[in-house]
A and B are shown apart, each in its own frame.
Chain A
Amino acid sequence: MSESGLAARLGTSQSLAMFFSPFLATRYLKPKRTFVSIITLISILGVALGVWAMIVVNSVFTGYGVRMKESILGVAPHLVAVSTCYVAGNRRGNAPEELVSDGPWDIGLDWRKEVAAARRIRSDAEATSRLPEKLAEFRKEARGELGAAGAPALASKTEDLRMAWVKDQLVEAGRARAASVGWPDAYAFTKALGEQALTETKGAVPVSIVRPSIIESSLAEPFPGWIRGFRMAEPVILSYARGLLKEFPGVPEGTVDVIPVDIVVAAIIAVAALGPEQAAPITQVASGSTNPLKYKVLVDNVRSWFTEHPLYDNEGQPIVVPEWQFPARGRVKEQLKRAKAVAERTERVLQSLPLRGKQASWAATLEEKKTEIDRAYQYVQLYGLYTECEAIYQVDRLLEMWAGLSPADQAAFNFLPQSVDWAHYVHEIHLPSIVQHSRAKTHSGKNRIDRPARLRKQILSPDRHVAAFDLENTLIASNVVESYSFLATRRLNVPERVRYVLRTLAEAPTLQAVDRKDRTDFLRFFYRRYEDAPVAQIAEDAPELLANIILAKSFPAGLRRVREHRALGHRTILITGAMDFAVEGLRPLFDEIVAATMSVRPDGTYSGNLSQVPPTGETRAQILADYCAAEGLKLEESIAYADSTSDLPMLECVGFPVAVNPETRLAAIARKRGWLVEHWDKASGAPVKPLPLGPLMSEKERRKVFQ
């Protein structure tokens, strides 16, 4: 092919061409130097390979392609689509095996319009969520949850909240739309639209639809109780067994249409095996019409089983399951709503209180309770409709199919709903299986694996690199105001002290307000007070801070922890907003102390201005990251100890965060994320000092100092 093409392009005669080609070939094949011939060989090989590949591809596209298409589609294509019985919508009585649009209750919905409307709602919600007032709301909520955690942490939280809000809006819109046109929820509604879309767009492909009802764990295959994914009844049952769900709405004599998964699978296989001609266009796989499970029977069975095999709480006590009264959905929802409102209000009050440590943990427990109520509410909202649904799904096609099976097939592919003995199924198969899967506590006694102990062991492993500590309320129950007061009053007499105390008390509200707004600003503002303080005097008095303030108010367990880290070879860093001279006494505990520093004037007094940005908030995370980078250590192998959400960036940047005596917000965060929480206390025999003032100097010595 290439030879003739070449000849044509040269425009020579056939004979010349015939002669010319071998000439050219020999001309270039015959080597003058060895390496040229190698290049030539490679080129020939390359061209050959290329031509071969082209031939193969061409033939696949033209010849084989056609043949393959014929062989695949030639054998009558058949699409088996799995839908749900609940496409029938909210109706009482029989629901036959036919398309909704073919039934008597069709209201003429167009799936295309519905899709377009849903898309529009999404973009509307997105747009609304970005409105300034909405964003301000998210910001406020994020700040309420995190406190002064620094700009980056707040930004990320705000965005999370916005996206969650959009999702909620969409869920609500979907539910509302579904309810407005007669479906229990968006799931069943969209399935119904899906059936419609499939029927419209299937073209020449024959379609069979299989509609199972609520699929639960298997009856026999691959083994009794096989289940993946906890979606429908399982979370409700477990919440009930854990005592979280005291009530669930439903009609006691109503039917809960449950069908084991292996029956559904067998039915699908049967439909596929029958092929497009023989299989019914729609086959329902449900138990309601032939072997109904009454709601009350199910509840009684569940209750008796959990009475016999209770779950245990964290204290190792069995949980007694409540008796259901089968209230109306509205009442349960109302109750839950009220409970949620109370929990929310209490939580807000608790968050505004200056709680710490153990009390803060209680607040976090309350938040957990609130989440539980939330979840229960969602379950009622989502699944309540299913327990109230009074439609009876007809399974005539299914039974016809069953009758047509040979006994061998019937034995191998059981899809007969009547074959389920509900009492046996609930007691012996389903409940044991979901309890096992949920990993709920099924034995008495305290948990053997003590989570804090395990976390502590991880932290105190020689593999860790750096342990970073905050100071105030993490290692000592004191603050910068106390150390300042001590130094400021060290050389004052009694009347001067009284004046000092009164003045400081008067300023307290201002100081507190500034501190709440921004820690860095507070430190800058407060440290102005050191202006004109003689460096020499501070240097002389500051060492007394160790015994008088730091040690007296220290958490001995905290100081022990620092030393444990050192003994294990970890680097220890103190990152604090306190002045460097005030924490100098802690030097032997730490490899590195990062504290605020102040510039000194030529006359040997402090200027009152900080020489650098004080290490607070996200600066701490940066300091720690820089330190690790400079020393070749790993942040993910490091530990950080802190007490408030303002240290959240530092806690989040390390692999092992520890919340020490956390305030309410941090306690909640630590609990959610499974962080280690330490409750360190002051030594109970610590000397009591109502005011953090320096010891009084004898008048004689004082006079000498101020001569």
Chain B
Amino acid sequence: MPRPGFVLEVDRSTPPSLFWRGENFSLEKLPAGRSRVIYPPEPLPAIKDIDGAIRNALLNPIDQDPLPSLLFPGMKLTICFDDVSLPLPKMRRPDTRQRVIEAVLDMAADAGVEDVHLIAALGLHRRMHEYELRHALGDRIYDAFHPRGMLTQHDAEDPDNLAVIGETPHGEVLEINKRAADSDLVVYVNINSVPMDGGWKSITTGLASYRCLSAHHNGHTLQNTRSLSGHREHSALHQSIWRLGKVLRDHGPKLFQIETTLNTDMFPEQFSFIATREWEWSARERATYLATTKALKRTPIKLARKIFHGMEGPHQMTSIQAGETSAVHEITLEHVYRQQLVPVEGQTDILTMGIPFVCPYNPDGVMNPILVMCMGLGYLFNMYRNKPLVREGGVIIMTHPTYRDFNPVHHPSYIDFFEQVLPDTTDPVVMGQKWEKQFAEDEWFRHLYRTGNAYHGVHPFYAWYWGAHGQQWAGKVIIVGGDPATVRRLGFTPATTMDDAFEIASDVVGRAPTITHLHVPALLVADVS
């Protein structure tokens, strides 16, 4: 039986805590008496018979007819799936998507459906490389569908391939992939790593046009998105998405939502020290930690990146549910919370977090400075229910090298964002008004998004908006170990060591602040009371 997550009060005998530092780790001693460390629950056991569970979910959907009864010869069937941003790190083959889609395709074949189309629901993310598609779908599906043009990647800028479904009372236009809109049935295969994924968000972002996305992906909405992991009523983003979902349900194609959850067994056996609580480290884990950190320090950064991005997580499916979108999503959330929720009492003055080498926007790429901000203030800061872990005006301390590296193939617009927009402003609303249009409509970025493997020109803005709430909430953000010039350009404060960071933070939170460390990875949602 896996142990639940818990909050450790740091005393004099507590060993130092593990922090990610990009492509490396460090152990940091937190002040005794006023610090606590939040540990995530241990990974839940995976489903034993995964294929059986998938079949069962498809045959017994929630608030929906069984999948086989929705399939008929001559129909247009479209299967959409989450892109390479999920899960992190990539899971060992076979991927959940492959298993589920193979099951769906089997049923479609039994029903005599011939017009089947697979669409990678990219939204404004980069197109997946061939090897990524093969990893997610398996060679069998790829070789069967891709050469015949039946496996495509969504293009939010293709005017010929988008259809308007309708409009919400708030004036938000729902415009999605035309093939999906024209289908008799759209099956969407989700991997729900965090509570904000899934539900109506799947199609209304993954298959939406730029125009449709810009209605809710903006600085203003994200500043008013006060909870990405908890209550939807506090999230302006989810409010908007649920309104669009209603339009989709009433006027769009018939939907069959499949959501799956994974346990948090994210790293291979040799990296077991990442997930183990420090005082429980075995001699072997201590040795591995030492060897790994020392070796990584001497490894060229590009090689270190290659090693980390090549890692495949052993995480496995803990639940699968299919059927009507809203109903399915509620059950998914229960499963996500069961794995990730940790009750925490009260807020803290300083929140510390280690930023890893990867975030949803740089699989097989570089964690550039903008993504460091997005990961820290957009993702980790937002992993709470009720209220943020850090009090308003408190300090957030992250550890990451924050090098000035960019992948020119995946993130060309990020480079220009860093060189042109950030020196001008770090305010999400100001940059939205002043710069966003220029990047979003840039012909070159559009070309790279549509034909290359680049994120959309506007994506760095979205990544930045993602941290808008955290940026507004925190009184100061400090990055330990980051390149000073780069950190300053992000509008943050650089510090060399954790002690320096606490010293700098004392300007804002006084000499004896309370400190809370978010022990990631292993994802967790802090239920702050």
Contact with B along A695-707 (1 / 0, CB 8 A): 1001011000000
Additional A-B contact list (19), CB under 8 Å, known A551-B408, A559-B444, A685-B405: A543-B451, A547-B409, A547-B452, A548-B409, A551-B452, A552-B408, A556-B406, A556-B419, A560-B415, A560-B419, A563-B444, A587-B447, A682-B408, A684-B403, A685-B365, A685-B368, A685-B408, A686-B407, A701-B143
Tell whether, in the assembled complex, residue B447 and residue A685 are in contact, meaning their CB atoms are under 8 Å apart: no
- In the complex, 26 of the A-B residue pairs with CB atoms within 8 angstroms, ordered by the A residue number, are A543-B451, A546-B452, A548-B409, A552-B408, A556-B412, A556-B415, A556-B416, A556-B419, A559-B444, A560-B416, A560-B420, A585-B451, A585-B452, A587-B447, A588-B443, A588-B444, A589-B444, A683-B405, A684-B403, A684-B405, A684-B406, A685-B368, A685-B403, A685-B406, A687-B407, A700-B139
Contacts of A543 in B (CB 8 A): 451
Expressed in whole angstroms, the Cα–Cα distance for A687 and B365 within the complex equals 8
Contacts of B368 in A (CB 8 A): 685
Expressed in whole angstroms, the Cα–Cα distance for A178 and B297 within the complex equals 71
Asked whether A686 and B419 contact (CB < 8 A) given A551-B452, A559-B444, A588-B444, the answer is no
Write the nearest CB–CB distance from B434 to chain A, whole angstroms.
15
Contacts of A587 in B (CB 8 A): 447
Across the interface, name the chain A residue whose C-beta is closest to B127. Answer: A547
B507 in the interface, Cβ–Cβ < 8 Å?
Answer: no
B514 in the interface, Cβ–Cβ < 8 Å?
Answer: no
Write the nearest CB–CB distance from A590 to chain B, whole angstroms.
10
Across the interface, name the chain A residue whose C-beta is closest to B305. Answer: A685
A688 in the interface, Cβ–Cβ < 8 Å?
Answer: yes
Scan residues 664-704 of chain A and give those whose CB is less than 8 A from a CB of chain B: 682-688, 695, 698, 700-701
Tell whether, in the assembled complex, residue A551 and residue B405 are in contact, meaning their CB atoms are under 8 Å apart: no
B3 in the interface, Cβ–Cβ < 8 Å?
Answer: no
Tell whether, in the assembled complex, residue A688 and residue B407 are in contact, meaning their CB atoms are under 8 Å apart: no
Q: How many A-B residue pairs have CB under 8 A?
A: 74
B161 in the interface, Cβ–Cβ < 8 Å?
Answer: no
A557 in the interface, Cβ–Cβ < 8 Å?
Answer: yes
Tell whether, in the assembled complex, residue B419 and residue A557 are in contact, meaning their CB atoms are under 8 Å apart: yes
B404 in the interface, Cβ–Cβ < 8 Å?
Answer: yes
Across the interface, name the chain B residue whose C-beta is closest to A544. Answer: B452
B453 in the interface, Cβ–Cβ < 8 Å?
Answer: yes
Tell whether, in the assembled complex, residue B409 and residue A687 are in contact, meaning their CB atoms are under 8 Å apart: yes
Contacts of A387 in B (CB 8 A): none
Contacts of A551 in B (CB 8 A): 408-409, 412, 448, 452, 454
- Of B408, B446, B451, which one neighbours A686 at CB under 8 angstroms? B408
Asked whether A700 and B407 contact (CB < 8 A) given A557-B419, A589-B444, A688-B302, the answer is no
Contacts of A684 in B (CB 8 A): 403-406
A554 in the interface, Cβ–Cβ < 8 Å?
Answer: yes
B130 in the interface, Cβ–Cβ < 8 Å?
Answer: yes
Expressed in whole angstroms, the Cα–Cα distance for A688 and B407 within the complex equals 10
Scan residues 537-574 of chain A and give those whose CB is less than 8 A from a CB of chain B: 543, 546-548, 551-552, 554, 556-557, 559-560, 563
Q: Which of B131, B420, B447 has the most CB of A within 10 A?
A: B447
Contacts of A557 in B (CB 8 A): 419
Show the binding face of B for A, using Cβ within 8 Å: 130-131, 134, 139, 143, 302, 365-366, 368, 403-409, 411-412, 415-416, 419-420, 442-444, 446-448, 451-454
- Of B131, B409, B411, which one neighbours A552 at CB under 8 angstroms? B409
Write the nearest CB–CB distance from B41 to chain A, whole angstroms.
34
- Of A585, A683, A698, which one neighbours B407 at CB under 8 angstroms? A683
Across the interface, name the chain B residue whose C-beta is closest to A556. Answer: B415
Contacts of B446 in A (CB 8 A): 588
Contact with B along A352-378 (1 / 0, CB 8 A): 000000000000000000000000000
Expressed in whole angstroms, the Cα–Cα distance for A686 and B365 within the complex equals 9
Write the nearest CB–CB distance from B152 to chain A, whole angstroms.
16
Across the interface, name the chain A residue whose C-beta is closest to B403. Answer: A684
Contacts of A695 in B (CB 8 A): 130-131
Q: Which of A563, A683, A685 has the most CB of B within 10 A?
A: A685
Expressed in whole angstroms, the Cα–Cα distance for A683 and B405 within the complex equals 7
Contacts of A560 in B (CB 8 A): 415-416, 419-420
Contact with B along A279-305 (1 / 0, CB 8 A): 000000000000000000000000000
Tell whether, in the assembled complex, residue A547 and residue B453 are in contact, meaning their CB atoms are under 8 Å apart: yes
Expressed in whole angstroms, the Cα–Cα distance for A687 and B452 within the complex equals 15
Expressed in whole angstroms, the Cα–Cα distance for A688 and B309 within the complex equals 14
Write the nearest CB–CB distance from B265 to chain A, whole angstroms.
29
Scan residues 583-615 of chain A and give those whose CB is less than 8 A from a CB of chain B: 585, 587-589
| 8 closest residue pairs by CB, A with B | A685-B405, A685-B366, A683-B408, A588-B447, A556-B415, A547-B452, A684-B405, A685-B407
Asked whether A554 and B130 contact (CB < 8 A) given A559-B444, A563-B444, A585-B451, the answer is no
Expressed in whole angstroms, the Cα–Cα distance for A683 and B415 within the complex equals 8
Across the interface, name the chain A residue whose C-beta is closest to B134. Answer: A698
Across the interface, name the chain A residue whose C-beta is closest to B415. Answer: A556
Expressed in whole angstroms, the Cα–Cα distance for A407 and B451 within the complex equals 94
Contacts of B143 in A (CB 8 A): 700-701
Contacts of B454 in A (CB 8 A): 547, 551
Contacts of B366 in A (CB 8 A): 685
Across the interface, name the chain B residue whose C-beta is closest to A553. Answer: B408
Across the interface, name the chain A residue whose C-beta is closest to B447. Answer: A588
Write the nearest CB–CB distance from B411 to chain A, whole angstroms.
8
Scan residues 509-557 of chain A and give those whose CB is less than 8 A from a CB of chain B: 543, 546-548, 551-552, 554, 556-557
- Of A559, A563, A585, A683, which one neighbours B406 at CB under 8 angstroms? A683
Expressed in whole angstroms, the Cα–Cα distance for A587 and B416 within the complex equals 20
Contacts of B130 in A (CB 8 A): 695
Q: Which of A552, A559, A687, A698 has the most CB of B within 10 A?
A: A687
Contacts of B134 in A (CB 8 A): 698
Expressed in whole angstroms, the Cα–Cα distance for A557 and B406 within the complex equals 12
Expressed in whole angstroms, the Cα–Cα distance for A683 and B409 within the complex equals 9
Contacts of B404 in A (CB 8 A): 684
Across the interface, name the chain A residue whose C-beta is closest to B368. Answer: A685
Expressed in whole angstroms, the Cα–Cα distance for A395 and B368 within the complex equals 80
Q: Which of B408, B420, B451 has the most CB of A within 10 A?
A: B408
Contacts of A585 in B (CB 8 A): 447, 451-452
Write the nearest CB–CB distance from B147 to chain A, whole angstroms.
8
Contacts of A701 in B (CB 8 A): 143
Expressed in whole angstroms, the Cα–Cα distance for A174 and B131 within the complex equals 78
Across the interface, name the chain B residue whose C-beta is closest to A547. Answer: B452
Across the interface, name the chain A residue whose C-beta is closest to B139. Answer: A698
Contacts of A687 in B (CB 8 A): 407, 409
Asked whether A563 and B452 contact (CB < 8 A) given A556-B416, A684-B404, A685-B365, the answer is no
Across the interface, name the chain B residue whose C-beta is closest to A700. Answer: B143
Expressed in whole angstroms, the Cα–Cα distance for A587 and B447 within the complex equals 9
Write the nearest CB–CB distance from B365 to chain A, whole angstroms.
7
Across the interface, name the chain B residue whose C-beta is closest to A587. Answer: B447
Across the interface, name the chain A residue whose C-beta is closest to B365. Answer: A685
Expressed in whole angstroms, the Cα–Cα distance for A589 and B443 within the complex equals 8
Write the nearest CB–CB distance from A507 to chain B, whole angstroms.
29
Expressed in whole angstroms, the Cα–Cα distance for A589 and B446 within the complex equals 11
Expressed in whole angstroms, the Cα–Cα distance for A547 and B411 within the complex equals 11
Expressed in whole angstroms, the Cα–Cα distance for A682 and B420 within the complex equals 17
Expressed in whole angstroms, the Cα–Cα distance for A559 and B412 within the complex equals 10
Write the nearest CB–CB distance from A680 to chain B, whole angstroms.
12
Contacts of B365 in A (CB 8 A): 685
Contacts of A698 in B (CB 8 A): 134, 139
Expressed in whole angstroms, the Cα–Cα distance for A688 and B306 within the complex equals 10
Expressed in whole angstroms, the Cα–Cα distance for A519 and B415 within the complex equals 33
- Of B405, B408, B420, which one neighbours A554 at CB under 8 angstroms? B408
Asked whether A556 and B408 contact (CB < 8 A) given A551-B448, A688-B302, the answer is yes
Contacts of A546 in B (CB 8 A): 448, 451-452
Q: Which of B365, B409, B415 has the most CB of A within 10 A?
A: B409
Across the interface, name the chain A residue whose C-beta is closest to B366. Answer: A685
Expressed in whole angstroms, the Cα–Cα distance for A551 and B444 within the complex equals 12
Across the interface, name the chain A residue whose C-beta is closest to B130. Answer: A695
Write the nearest CB–CB distance from A571 to chain B, whole angstroms.
15
Contacts of A700 in B (CB 8 A): 139, 143
Write the nearest CB–CB distance from A320 to chain B, whole angstroms.
32
